[in-house]
Amino acid sequence: MTYSAKPIDDNLRKIIDEIEAKNPNLSVLAARQFCYSLYQNRVEITIKEPREFNVLEEFIIRAGIEFDPPPTEDELASILGLDTIFIRSTTKNLRTLQTLSATSPITVSSEGRSFYEKGSVPQPPYSVNIYAISDPLNQKLIFQSEPLNDVSLNLPDLAKFVNIDHTDTNISCLPLAEIQQSIQASGLGFHIPEEGKIVTACRVVGANQIISKEISIFVFFNVLEDKLSIQLRNGKQILESASSWLESLQAEGKISLQALCELSDETINFERQAILNQKNSDESDSPDQFILQHTKPQMQEQKKTKKPRKNL
């Protein structure tokens, strides 16, 4: 059956050519485009991360640890030959960061000693607005710096053919650890625990927005395995989990390929038989098969005419 006769959307013909060229054992029986809904929220995350000590901070903490007895701010200013105002301003900032105890002389806290060993001090937390996107088809929560554009898609809604759980993920109710993991997996660089950069809070600050997302469904026949398979793709990316889910629904009779892809059982059987016949024809015309077919009769003839050896 030619492309024109198969239920294949025009926009997918190029990628089909690429798939079949790379996988000679696969034949595309149907390829359709659909859309489904994503849910987008603007969220505010709070981030805490360290920075390196400056020279004066490092000297003050070092003096608090190594001097016995620890110096007062005035004594340290005298030792360094600096105006006391610079020392007091820096120690005030270090106390705000809980690196120094709120006492005099200069006393380094246990947390401050830990920071000193790492060579860094925590900065005041700061906030960033990003976008949380809930994907019900792939059952994922992803984060990105820029919002998705809401583009009108003139495509059939996949939810009319498949029961997709459109319950929006309530981000406000998610454990912080789960949000941290999703932000880290999104690769935004806001949550990097090994570098001391931690997301400490997340709250929704924008209204929920529904975004239409394009998706493609392919129905393949594998001639080697004599097997039908269904695959969902986002462009060239194969959606493994969603593909397995759709295949299981089809195997359980919960979805119809006729309704989904205009692919009837009669068409599938016809295509399957045509592909298998073509495979067998190609094998019989192969050089190896030709040599085998013409060599076998000659070998049998030689066996018939071969004279028995005489015993000496």
Q: What is the mean pLDDT of the chain?
A: 87
- In this structure, how many other beta carbons lie within 10 angstroms of the beta carbon of residue 164? 16
- State how far the Cα of 145 lies from the Cα of 157, in Å rounded to an integer: 27
Which pLDDT does position 12 carry in this prediction?
95
**Contact (CB, 8 A) for 142 and 133:** yes
Q: What percent of the chain has pLDDT over 70?
A: 88
Nearest C-alpha neighbor of 197 from the set 280, 291, 118, 125: 125
- State how far the Cα of 160 lies from the Cα of 37, in Å rounded to an integer: 12
Identify the sign of the CA torsion 227, 231, 236, 242: negative
Query: Where residue 284 falls among pLDDT bands split at 50, 70, 90?
Result: low
Which pLDDT does position 283 carry in this prediction?
63
Position with higher pLDDT, 90 vs 292: 90
Q: Domain spans of the chain?
A: 3-34+215-280, 37-47+125-211, 52-122
CATH fit for domain 52-122, picks 1.10.1740, 1.10.1660, 1.10.10, 1.10.3470: 1.10.10
Q: Is the peptide bond before 71 cis (omega within 30 degrees of 0)?
A: no
